[in-house]
Amino acid sequence: MDEVHIRTRRDHASEIAEDYVEAIAEFVAVKGSCRSVDLAECFAVTPATVNNTVARLVRNGLVITAPYQPIGLTSKGRKLALKCKERHEVVNAFLIAIGVDAGTAAADSEGIEHHISKTTLAAMKKILADGWPAISIAIEKQNE
Amino acid sequence: MDEVHIRTRRDHASEIAEDYVEAIAEFVAVKGSCRSVDLAECFAVTPATVNNTVARLVRNGLVITAPYQPIGLTSKGRKLALKCKERHEVVNAFLIAIGVDAGTAAADSEGIEHHISKTTLAAMKKILADGWPAISIAIEKQNE
DNA sequence: TGAAAATTTTAGCCTTGGCTAATTTATTGG
DNA sequence: CCAATAAATTAGCCAAGGCTAAAATTTTCA
Protein backbone atom coordinates (compact mmCIF):
# COMPACT_ATOMS: atom_id res chain seq x y z
CA MET A 1 0.00 0.00 0.00
CA ASP A 2 2.75 2.43 0.91
CA GLU A 3 4.18 2.88 -2.58
CA VAL A 4 0.73 3.82 -3.79
CA HIS A 5 0.41 6.69 -1.33
CA ILE A 6 3.97 7.78 -1.90
CA ARG A 7 3.11 8.14 -5.58
CA THR A 8 -0.11 9.99 -4.79
CA ARG A 9 1.90 12.48 -2.71
CA ARG A 10 4.46 12.86 -5.47
CA ASP A 11 1.69 13.40 -8.01
CA HIS A 12 0.21 16.10 -5.88
CA ALA A 13 3.46 17.96 -5.50
CA SER A 14 3.62 18.41 -9.25
CA GLU A 15 -0.05 19.16 -9.86
CA ILE A 16 0.22 22.91 -9.56
CA ALA A 17 3.39 22.97 -11.62
CA GLU A 18 1.57 21.05 -14.35
CA ASP A 19 -1.47 23.30 -14.22
CA TYR A 20 0.70 26.40 -14.46
CA VAL A 21 2.85 25.30 -17.38
CA GLU A 22 -0.27 24.14 -19.21
CA ALA A 23 -1.95 27.50 -18.63
CA ILE A 24 1.15 29.50 -19.53
CA ALA A 25 1.52 27.58 -22.80
CA GLU A 26 -2.15 28.22 -23.54
CA PHE A 27 -1.94 31.97 -22.88
CA VAL A 28 1.20 32.29 -24.97
CA ALA A 29 -0.45 30.35 -27.79
CA VAL A 30 -3.74 32.25 -27.68
CA LYS A 31 -2.79 35.84 -26.85
CA GLY A 32 0.91 35.96 -27.54
CA SER A 33 2.10 36.28 -23.95
CA CYS A 34 1.25 35.36 -20.40
CA ARG A 35 1.11 37.81 -17.50
CA SER A 36 0.60 37.33 -13.77
CA VAL A 37 -2.87 38.79 -14.02
CA ASP A 38 -3.83 36.09 -16.55
CA LEU A 39 -2.79 33.28 -14.25
CA ALA A 40 -4.41 34.93 -11.23
CA GLU A 41 -7.69 35.12 -13.09
CA CYS A 42 -7.34 31.63 -14.52
CA PHE A 43 -6.70 29.94 -11.18
CA ALA A 44 -8.80 32.27 -9.06
CA VAL A 45 -5.88 33.20 -6.80
CA THR A 46 -4.36 36.55 -5.89
CA PRO A 47 -1.48 38.07 -7.87
CA ALA A 48 0.70 37.55 -4.80
CA THR A 49 0.10 33.83 -4.96
CA VAL A 50 0.93 33.78 -8.66
CA ASN A 51 4.17 35.61 -7.96
CA ASN A 52 5.07 33.13 -5.27
CA THR A 53 4.24 30.11 -7.40
CA VAL A 54 5.96 31.44 -10.51
CA ALA A 55 9.11 32.07 -8.46
CA ARG A 56 9.05 28.43 -7.41
CA LEU A 57 8.59 27.25 -10.99
CA VAL A 58 11.53 29.43 -12.02
CA ARG A 59 13.61 27.76 -9.30
CA ASN A 60 12.48 24.40 -10.69
CA GLY A 61 13.58 25.32 -14.18
CA LEU A 62 10.15 25.22 -15.80
CA VAL A 63 9.49 28.93 -16.25
CA ILE A 64 11.45 32.00 -17.29
CA THR A 65 10.51 35.55 -16.42
CA ALA A 66 11.95 38.85 -15.17
CA PRO A 67 10.47 41.47 -12.83
CA TYR A 68 7.44 43.14 -14.40
CA GLN A 69 7.94 41.07 -17.53
CA PRO A 70 5.78 38.41 -19.19
CA ILE A 71 5.99 34.80 -18.05
CA GLY A 72 7.33 32.17 -20.42
CA LEU A 73 8.32 28.52 -20.42
CA THR A 74 11.75 26.94 -20.61
CA SER A 75 12.14 24.07 -23.02
CA LYS A 76 11.64 21.76 -20.06
CA GLY A 77 8.45 23.67 -19.26
CA ARG A 78 7.23 23.48 -22.84
CA LYS A 79 7.84 19.77 -22.95
CA LEU A 80 5.88 19.25 -19.74
CA ALA A 81 3.07 21.51 -20.95
CA LEU A 82 2.73 19.52 -24.13
CA LYS A 83 2.55 16.23 -22.26
CA CYS A 84 -0.06 17.61 -19.86
CA LYS A 85 -2.16 19.12 -22.61
CA GLU A 86 -2.32 15.86 -24.49
CA ARG A 87 -3.11 13.87 -21.35
CA HIS A 88 -5.76 16.39 -20.34
CA GLU A 89 -7.40 16.19 -23.74
CA VAL A 90 -7.43 12.41 -23.70
CA VAL A 91 -9.02 12.27 -20.26
CA ASN A 92 -11.59 14.87 -21.26
CA ALA A 93 -12.49 13.09 -24.47
CA PHE A 94 -12.66 9.78 -22.67
CA LEU A 95 -15.07 11.08 -20.04
CA ILE A 96 -17.30 12.39 -22.78
CA ALA A 97 -17.07 9.01 -24.50
CA ILE A 98 -18.37 7.23 -21.42
CA GLY A 99 -21.39 9.51 -21.36
CA VAL A 100 -20.35 12.38 -19.08
CA ASP A 101 -21.59 15.81 -20.14
CA ALA A 102 -18.99 18.26 -21.46
CA GLY A 103 -19.13 20.59 -18.45
CA THR A 104 -18.58 17.84 -15.93
CA ALA A 105 -15.93 16.24 -18.11
CA ALA A 106 -14.02 19.52 -18.24
CA ALA A 107 -14.19 19.93 -14.48
CA ASP A 108 -13.36 16.33 -13.58
CA SER A 109 -10.55 15.96 -16.09
CA GLU A 110 -8.87 18.96 -14.48
CA GLY A 111 -8.54 17.06 -11.23
CA ILE A 112 -8.06 13.59 -12.65
CA GLU A 113 -5.38 14.24 -15.24
CA HIS A 114 -2.53 14.45 -12.76
CA HIS A 115 -3.20 10.97 -11.43
CA ILE A 116 -3.38 9.08 -14.70
CA SER A 117 -0.46 6.73 -15.30
CA LYS A 118 1.01 6.02 -18.72
CA THR A 119 -0.77 2.66 -18.64
CA THR A 120 -4.22 4.09 -17.94
CA LEU A 121 -3.67 6.87 -20.45
CA ALA A 122 -2.80 4.25 -23.06
CA ALA A 123 -5.95 2.30 -22.21
CA MET A 124 -8.07 5.43 -22.69
CA LYS A 125 -6.38 6.29 -25.95
CA LYS A 126 -6.88 2.78 -27.23
CA ILE A 127 -10.58 2.97 -26.52
CA LEU A 128 -10.90 6.38 -28.14
CA ALA A 129 -9.14 5.01 -31.21
CA ASP A 130 -10.39 1.43 -31.44
CA GLY A 131 -13.63 1.39 -29.47
CA TRP A 132 -14.52 -0.60 -26.38
CA PRO A 133 -12.54 -3.65 -25.30
CA ALA A 134 -13.92 -7.20 -25.36
CA ILE A 135 -17.54 -7.22 -24.34
CA SER A 136 -18.22 -8.77 -20.99
CA ILE A 137 -21.03 -7.82 -18.71
CA ALA A 138 -23.66 -6.66 -21.15
CA ILE A 139 -23.58 -9.68 -23.37
CA GLU A 140 -23.27 -12.11 -20.49
CA LYS A 141 -26.36 -10.54 -19.03
CA GLN A 142 -28.17 -10.85 -22.31
CA ASN A 143 -27.18 -14.50 -22.57
CA GLU A 144 -28.32 -15.47 -19.10
CA MET B 1 -12.21 28.35 -15.75
CA ASP B 2 -11.93 29.65 -12.18
CA GLU B 3 -14.68 27.52 -10.66
CA VAL B 4 -12.95 24.43 -12.00
CA HIS B 5 -9.72 25.21 -10.19
CA ILE B 6 -11.51 26.28 -7.06
CA ARG B 7 -13.12 22.83 -7.01
CA THR B 8 -9.81 21.12 -7.65
CA ARG B 9 -8.33 22.96 -4.66
CA ARG B 10 -11.31 22.04 -2.51
CA ASP B 11 -11.03 18.42 -3.60
CA HIS B 12 -7.41 18.36 -2.65
CA ALA B 13 -8.02 19.77 0.79
CA SER B 14 -10.25 16.81 1.58
CA GLU B 15 -8.12 14.12 -0.06
CA ILE B 16 -6.10 13.24 2.98
CA ALA B 17 -9.18 13.32 5.19
CA GLU B 18 -10.87 10.88 2.82
CA ASP B 19 -7.85 8.60 2.67
CA TYR B 20 -7.61 8.52 6.46
CA VAL B 21 -11.25 7.79 7.19
CA GLU B 22 -11.23 5.11 4.52
CA ALA B 23 -8.13 3.51 6.03
CA ILE B 24 -9.42 3.79 9.59
CA ALA B 25 -12.68 2.11 8.62
CA GLU B 26 -10.72 -0.63 6.91
CA PHE B 27 -8.45 -1.30 9.90
CA VAL B 28 -11.39 -1.35 12.27
CA ALA B 29 -13.22 -3.75 9.99
CA VAL B 30 -10.28 -6.06 9.41
CA LYS B 31 -8.42 -6.14 12.71
CA GLY B 32 -10.89 -4.73 15.17
CA SER B 33 -9.16 -1.44 15.85
CA CYS B 34 -6.95 1.18 14.29
CA ARG B 35 -3.74 2.50 15.86
CA SER B 36 -1.36 5.29 14.84
CA VAL B 37 1.21 2.74 13.83
CA ASP B 38 -1.24 1.18 11.37
CA LEU B 39 -1.86 4.46 9.61
CA ALA B 40 1.82 5.38 9.62
CA GLU B 41 2.64 2.12 7.91
CA CYS B 42 -0.31 2.40 5.53
CA PHE B 43 0.54 5.89 4.31
CA ALA B 44 4.31 5.60 4.65
CA VAL B 45 4.56 8.58 6.96
CA THR B 46 6.03 8.95 10.45
CA PRO B 47 3.94 8.44 13.59
CA ALA B 48 4.38 12.15 14.27
CA THR B 49 2.65 12.99 11.01
CA VAL B 50 -0.19 10.61 11.82
CA ASN B 51 -0.62 12.27 15.18
CA ASN B 52 -0.75 15.67 13.60
CA THR B 53 -3.21 14.62 10.92
CA VAL B 54 -5.45 12.70 13.29
CA ALA B 55 -5.62 15.75 15.56
CA ARG B 56 -6.87 17.77 12.59
CA LEU B 57 -9.46 15.17 11.73
CA VAL B 58 -10.66 15.20 15.32
CA ARG B 59 -11.01 18.99 15.07
CA ASN B 60 -13.01 18.45 11.88
CA GLY B 61 -15.36 16.01 13.59
CA LEU B 62 -14.46 12.95 11.53
CA VAL B 63 -12.41 11.02 14.04
CA ILE B 64 -12.53 10.19 17.75
CA THR B 65 -9.59 9.17 19.86
CA ALA B 66 -7.86 9.79 23.17
CA PRO B 67 -4.16 9.87 24.09
CA TYR B 68 -2.57 6.43 23.66
CA GLN B 69 -5.92 5.03 22.63
CA PRO B 70 -7.15 3.50 19.37
CA ILE B 71 -8.45 5.73 16.60
CA GLY B 72 -12.09 5.53 15.59
CA LEU B 73 -14.57 7.30 13.37
CA THR B 74 -17.48 9.52 14.28
CA SER B 75 -20.76 8.84 12.51
CA LYS B 76 -19.81 11.64 10.13
CA GLY B 77 -16.50 9.89 9.56
CA ARG B 78 -18.13 6.54 9.00
CA LYS B 79 -20.51 8.03 6.49
CA LEU B 80 -17.66 9.62 4.58
CA ALA B 81 -15.63 6.41 4.71
CA LEU B 82 -18.47 4.45 3.24
CA LYS B 83 -18.94 6.90 0.41
CA CYS B 84 -15.22 6.90 -0.36
CA LYS B 85 -14.91 3.15 -0.23
CA GLU B 86 -17.71 2.67 -2.69
CA ARG B 87 -16.36 5.35 -5.02
CA HIS B 88 -12.88 3.90 -4.78
CA GLU B 89 -14.13 0.45 -5.65
CA VAL B 90 -16.10 1.70 -8.62
CA VAL B 91 -13.10 3.58 -10.01
CA ASN B 92 -10.86 0.58 -9.48
CA ALA B 93 -13.27 -1.82 -11.13
CA PHE B 94 -13.81 0.61 -13.96
CA LEU B 95 -10.10 0.93 -14.70
CA ILE B 96 -9.80 -2.83 -14.80
CA ALA B 97 -12.80 -2.94 -17.11
CA ILE B 98 -11.10 -0.66 -19.61
CA GLY B 99 -8.11 -2.94 -19.72
CA VAL B 100 -5.75 -1.56 -17.07
CA ASP B 101 -3.88 -4.18 -15.05
CA ALA B 102 -4.90 -4.64 -11.43
CA GLY B 103 -1.73 -3.14 -9.95
CA THR B 104 -1.93 0.03 -12.00
CA ALA B 105 -5.68 0.26 -11.41
CA ALA B 106 -5.12 0.09 -7.66
CA ALA B 107 -2.47 2.80 -7.78
CA ASP B 108 -4.31 5.13 -10.16
CA SER B 109 -7.69 4.79 -8.48
CA GLU B 110 -6.07 5.94 -5.25
CA GLY B 111 -5.24 9.28 -6.79
CA ILE B 112 -8.25 9.59 -9.09
CA GLU B 113 -11.07 8.77 -6.70
CA HIS B 114 -11.05 12.15 -4.99
CA HIS B 115 -11.68 13.99 -8.23
CA ILE B 116 -14.62 11.98 -9.50
CA SER B 117 -17.92 13.83 -9.48
CA LYS B 118 -21.28 12.20 -8.83
CA THR B 119 -21.97 12.41 -12.54
CA THR B 120 -18.79 10.64 -13.64
CA LEU B 121 -19.20 8.06 -10.90
CA ALA B 122 -22.69 7.36 -12.16
CA ALA B 123 -21.38 6.97 -15.72
CA MET B 124 -18.78 4.45 -14.54
CA LYS B 125 -21.32 2.52 -12.51
CA LYS B 126 -23.69 2.39 -15.43
CA ILE B 127 -21.00 0.91 -17.65
CA LEU B 128 -20.01 -1.64 -15.03
CA ALA B 129 -23.64 -2.65 -14.72
CA ASP B 130 -24.91 -2.36 -18.27
CA GLY B 131 -21.81 -2.57 -20.47
CA TRP B 132 -20.44 -0.07 -22.93
CA PRO B 133 -22.65 2.61 -24.43
CA ALA B 134 -22.27 1.62 -28.09
CA ILE B 135 -22.59 -2.08 -27.31
CA SER B 136 -25.74 -1.50 -25.32
CA ILE B 137 -27.25 0.19 -28.31
CA ALA B 138 -26.17 -2.72 -30.49
CA ILE B 139 -27.82 -5.20 -28.16
CA GLU B 140 -30.94 -3.14 -27.90
CA LYS B 141 -31.06 -3.14 -31.67
CA GLN B 142 -30.60 -6.91 -31.75
CA ASN B 143 -33.46 -7.31 -29.35
CA GLU B 144 -35.84 -5.22 -31.37
C1' DT C 1 3.43 64.87 -20.12
C1' DG C 2 1.97 63.51 -16.00
C1' DA C 3 -1.62 61.78 -13.03
C1' DA C 4 -4.65 57.99 -12.42
C1' DA C 5 -5.19 53.18 -13.09
C1' DA C 6 -3.46 48.73 -13.59
C1' DT C 7 -0.06 45.52 -12.68
C1' DT C 8 3.56 43.49 -10.13
C1' DT C 9 6.27 42.87 -6.19
C1' DT C 10 7.30 42.67 -1.30
C1' DA C 11 6.52 41.71 3.49
C1' DG C 12 4.28 39.29 6.76
C1' DC C 13 0.93 36.09 8.10
C1' DC C 14 -1.63 31.41 8.09
C1' DT C 15 -2.73 26.19 7.49
C1' DT C 16 -1.52 21.80 5.72
C1' DG C 17 1.26 18.10 5.78
C1' DG C 18 5.69 16.48 5.97
C1' DC C 19 10.20 15.60 8.91
C1' DT C 20 13.62 14.52 13.22
C1' DA C 21 14.73 14.03 17.92
C1' DA C 22 13.48 13.55 22.48
C1' DT C 23 10.15 12.24 25.80
C1' DT C 24 6.33 9.82 27.72
C1' DT C 25 3.33 5.98 28.14
C1' DA C 26 2.01 1.04 27.27
C1' DT C 27 3.04 -3.56 26.46
C1' DT C 28 5.46 -7.67 26.68
C1' DG C 29 8.71 -11.26 27.96
C1' DG C 30 12.13 -13.12 31.06
C1' DC D 1 7.25 -7.60 38.42
C1' DC D 2 10.15 -4.95 36.18
C1' DA D 3 13.17 -4.02 32.36
C1' DA D 4 13.33 -3.80 27.59
C1' DT D 5 10.71 -2.81 23.66
C1' DA D 6 7.10 -0.76 21.22
C1' DA D 7 3.95 2.87 20.56
C1' DA D 8 2.48 7.51 20.99
C1' DT D 9 3.20 12.25 21.95
C1' DT D 10 5.57 16.65 22.02
C1' DA D 11 8.53 20.27 20.36
C1' DG D 12 10.56 22.39 16.80
C1' DC D 13 11.76 22.54 12.09
C1' DC D 14 10.62 23.03 6.84
C1' DA D 15 8.29 23.85 2.09
C1' DA D 16 4.07 24.50 -0.43
C1' DG D 17 0.46 27.24 -1.34
C1' DG D 18 -2.86 30.28 0.19
C1' DC D 19 -4.05 35.26 2.00
C1' DT D 20 -3.90 40.77 2.91
C1' DA D 21 -1.94 45.18 2.79
C1' DA D 22 1.36 48.26 1.21
C1' DA D 23 4.88 49.70 -1.98
C1' DA D 24 6.87 49.90 -6.50
C1' DT D 25 6.57 49.84 -11.33
C1' DT D 26 4.38 50.15 -15.74
C1' DT D 27 0.73 51.54 -18.69
C1' DT D 28 -2.83 54.39 -20.29
C1' DC D 29 -5.22 58.39 -21.55
C1' DA D 30 -6.87 63.17 -20.87
Instruction: Check residue B21 and give its pLDDT.
Output: 98
Q: What is the pLDDT of residues B42-64, one digit of tens each?
A: 999 999 999 999 999 999 999 99
How far away is chain A from the Cα of B17, in angstroms, using its nearest Cα?
A: 13
Mean pLDDT of A57-76: 98
Tell whether A44 lies on the interface with B, counting CB pairs under 8 A: yes
B15: contact with A, CB 8 A cutoff: yes
Q: How far apart are CA A138 and CA A134, in angstroms?
A: 11
Q: B7 — contact with chain A (CB < 8 Å)?
A: yes
Closest-lying nucleotide for A48 based on CA to C1': C9
Mean pLDDT of B12-36: 96
Q: Domain A2-130 classified CATH 1.10.10.10?
A: yes
ipTM: 0.89
Q: Are B135 and A123 in contact (CB under 8 A)?
A: no
Closest residue (CA to C1') to nucleotide D11 in the complex: B48
| N-to-C CA span, chain B | 44
pLDDT on residue B11: 86
- What pLDDT sits at residue B140? 41
Cα angle at B95 between A140 and A101, to 5 degrees? 90
What Å distances lie between residue B71 and A109, B58, B61, CA to CA? 34, 10, 13
Mean pLDDT score across all residues of chain A: 92
**pLDDT of B135 above 80:** no
Residue B48 CA, nucleotide C6 C1', distance (Å): 47
Q: What residues of B are in contact with residue A107 (Cβ under 8 Å)?
A: 3-4, 7, 117
Name the residue closest to the C1' of D18 by its CA. A49
| Best residue of B101, B135, B137, B144 to probe chain A, by most A CBs closer than 10 Å | B135
User: Is residue B74 scored above 80 in pLDDT?
Assistant: yes
Q: What is the architecture of the domain spanning B2-138?
A: Orthogonal Bundle (1.10)
The answer to whether A138 and B126 are in contact (CB under 8 A) is no
Report pLDDT digits (tens) over B85-101. 999 999 999 999 999 99
pLDDT tier for residue A89 given thresholds of 50, 70 and 90: very high
% of chain B with per-residue pLDDT over 70: 92
Query: CA–CA distance from B87 to each of A41, A50, A80, B82, B132 (Å)?
Result: 32, 33, 30, 9, 19
Q: Report in angstroms the alpha-carbon separations of B67 from A132, B3, B51, B71.
A: 53, 40, 10, 10
